[in-house]
Amino acid sequence: MPIDPNRETWKPGMPWEGALEDIDYITALGQEMGGAERVDRQHSGGRYTVRERVDKMLDKGSFIEYGPMIGAAEYDDDGNLVEFSPGAYVMGLGEIDGRPVAIGGDDFTISGGSPHNVRKHPTDFMQPLASQYGIPYIQLVEGVGHSAKSDEAKGHMGLPDGALWWRGIELLKKVPVAAGIMGSVAGAPAAFALMSHFTVMVKGQSQIFPSGPPVVKRAIGEDLNKEELGGYKTHVHESGQVDNVADSEEEAFEQIKQFISYLPNTTNDVAPRIETGDPPDRRPEELLNIIPPNRKRSYDPRKLIKLVVDNGDFFEMRRHWAGALITGFARLDGYSVGVIGSDPMFMAGAMDGWAAEKYAHFVDLCDAFNLPVVMFLDMPGFMLGSHAEKKATMRRGVRALIASAEAEVPKIEFNVRKAYGVAADAAHSLGHPNGLNLRFGWPAGEWGGIPIEGGVAAAYRREIDNAPDPEAHRLMIEERLLKLRSPFRAAHKGDVVDLIDPRETRRLACRFVKLAQPMLEKLAQKPKRIVRP
């Protein structure tokens, strides 16, 4: 519906009916976004428009839009509207599963989502709304930021004062912030997207970078297409810049909804309990034999986690990055928990610099949102070798340790197999020294300052070298020490609360999470740190 230049516009003093007609008329003009041709282009690229995205995210009919009439409006001398083009942002209040959220997104059909002559920005409504009312904030980002054309229009190049960001930074301290990266995103919109607790991009459709391929080529001569430069392989698998990848926009929306579902509305609340119908005393039989007797062999750690949590529902975050460590959300007896696990199938579960960073971030996130942490540890220590050294593995490992010690949320830790050295101490430190170090051991549990194999070679080097048969001597010492590795010996000393039948894991974890609830209520009242992405 293009604008009708001959239509008489309502003016003060005219009957109300005309005003109501104009509300519908101008609102409808705004709904056309950048016009039929631009909308078609959006669709033919396999992408939804921002209005379709908002519709798909929210409960039907729950959207209350801010500023549907905000736009560049021109009136003729008689006071009739002759031109209207809407602002390039859609935002408002909505509901997801009956829960209020602030939501908004760039309208890419208007100036490619770039700011133009109409001021319509999330800082005007969405961000203050989320902040003041304490509700989750969802941004669906598709824009390329500052346009050189706008400098020409303004006649000067402004010196940015940083004022663009403070509300977004405040939000990170207060409410869950989730971003869908819905297309090519650069410049300020890219930074807005990453200023989130959770980010997801769509495979093959989303890219994110400070500047896209033409600017890169001009600046450093690198000739890459946008997917190579900032697609999901670069940023979800390699750099860890973006948390998750989705196969479709629908899946991205679903991931955002899931992420939000595990968190409370603010950092001063505790996540609501949801009836899941999974009995807390369920005994997962398969847990008994999930760890292979041969300690060189792996097992599927996600299967282990899913056997324990309610209905096997585990929402994993950063699945494709820093694979030695698993982080995600689940429910136990209906209560939200953060889950940290090791993946023995990737670098044997050893903590490298990236895994340490992933650990610290996730612990910070759980601490900020008052989520108790459940751990399934099988960590042989820090990853060794030159590649790990180049990731500043120990410095980041120390950071992980500090994150643990600073966090006040309680944890329950199941030492399902290995826990060696300072790396495992990061996990052991969570909830400690401020609170109870609630640790249980499985029969496969083995732990210590250093694994026996490497430890013997280092500590008994002179004795081994001087032996008539050094290899046989080394094996003899190892044999002797192996007996010490029995988890029963540590249990006698009280290193664990108890050694348990693995099938008891769920029952204990559910009891712990229930026990933790009153404490979480108190922790929620404390001031919170910002979770830095």
Partner 1 sequence: MAGHQVNSPMTGQVIEISVEVGQSVSEGDLLIVIESMKMENEIFSEVNGTVTSIEVEEDRNISEENLLMTIEI
Q: Which CB atom, from 349 or from 445, has the smaller least distance to partner 1?
A: 349
Q: Which is nearer to partner 1, 165 or 346 (CB)?
A: 346
Closest separation in Å from C-beta 473 to partner 1: 20
- Closer to partner 1 by CB, 436 or 475: give it: 475
Smallest distance from partner 1 to CB 124, Å: 46
In whole angstroms, the minimum distance from the beta carbon of 487 to partner 1 comes to 18
Q: Nearer to partner 1 by C-beta: 390 or 532? A: 390
Q: How far apart are CA 410 and CA 516, in angstroms?
A: 7
Look up residue 11 and give its two tokens: 């003016």
Give Rg (Cα) of the chain.
28
Q: Residue 225 Cβ, how far from partner 1 at the closest point, in Å?
A: 16
Kindly state the DSSP code that residue 291 receives in the 8-state scheme: S
* Shortest reach from residue 386's CB to partner 1, in Å: 8
Contact 411, 372 (CB under 8 A): yes
Nearest distance from C-beta of residue 293 to partner 1, angstroms: 14
> What's the closest the beta carbon of residue 346 comes to partner 1, in angstroms?
7
186 three-state secondary structure:
strand
* Structure token pair of residue 203: 């495979």
CB 491 within 8 A of CB 500: no
**Residue that the structure tokens 């083009």 belong to:** 85
Residue burial 319-351, b: 16+ Cβ < 10 Å; e: rest: bbbbbbbbbbbbbbbbbbbbbbbbbbebbbbbb
Taking the least distance from each CB to partner 1, the nearer of 176 and 323 is 323
Within 10 A of 386 (CB to CB), how many other CB atoms are there?
6
Please identify, using beta-carbon distances, which residue of 384 and 392 lies nearer to partner 1. Answer: 384
Question: Is the Cα torsion angle 148, 149, 155, 159 positive or negative in sign?
Answer: negative
How would DSSP label each residue in 326-358? EEEEEEETTEEEEEEEE-TTTGGG-B-HHHHHH
User: At closest approach, how far in Å is the CB of 426 from partner 1?
Assistant: 17
CB of 220 to partner 1, least distance (A): 23
**H-only helix segments in 125-186:** 126-133, 148-154, 166-174
Rank residues 347 and 520 by Cβ distance to partner 1 and give the closer one: 347
381 or 533: CB nearest partner 1: 381
Does residue 65 sit in helix, strand or coil?
strand
In degrees, rounded to 5, the angle at the alpha carbon of residue 198 between the alpha carbons of residues 196 and 204 is 110
CB of 387 to partner 1, least distance (A): 4
| Footprint of partner 1 (CB under 8 A) | 295-298, 323, 344-350, 380-381, 383-387, 451, 453
Of 172 and 424, CB closest to partner 1: 424
Which lies closer to partner 1 via its Cβ, residue 3 or residue 345?
A: 345
Give the residue with the Cβ less far from partner 1, 264 or 323.
Answer: 323
Euclidean distance between CA atoms 341 and 352, whole angstroms: 14
Q: How many CB atoms lie within 10 A of CB 101?
A: 28
Beta carbon of residue 22, minimum distance to partner 1 (angstroms, whole number): 58
Neighbours of 501 (CB within 10 A): 13
Least separation in angstroms between CB 340 and partner 1: 19
Answer for the pair 82, 75: CB distance below 8 angstroms, yes or no.
Answer: yes
User: Within 13 Å, how many C-alpha atoms sit on residue 520's CB side?
Assistant: 28
At CA 422, angle to CA 437 and CA 458, rounded to 5?
Answer: 135
If the CB atoms of residues 100 and 380 are measured against partner 1, the closer one turns out to be 380
Cα–Cα distance measured from residue 20 to residue 350, given in angstroms and rounded to the nearest whole number: 65
CA neighbours within 13 Å on the CB side: how many for 381? Answer: 14
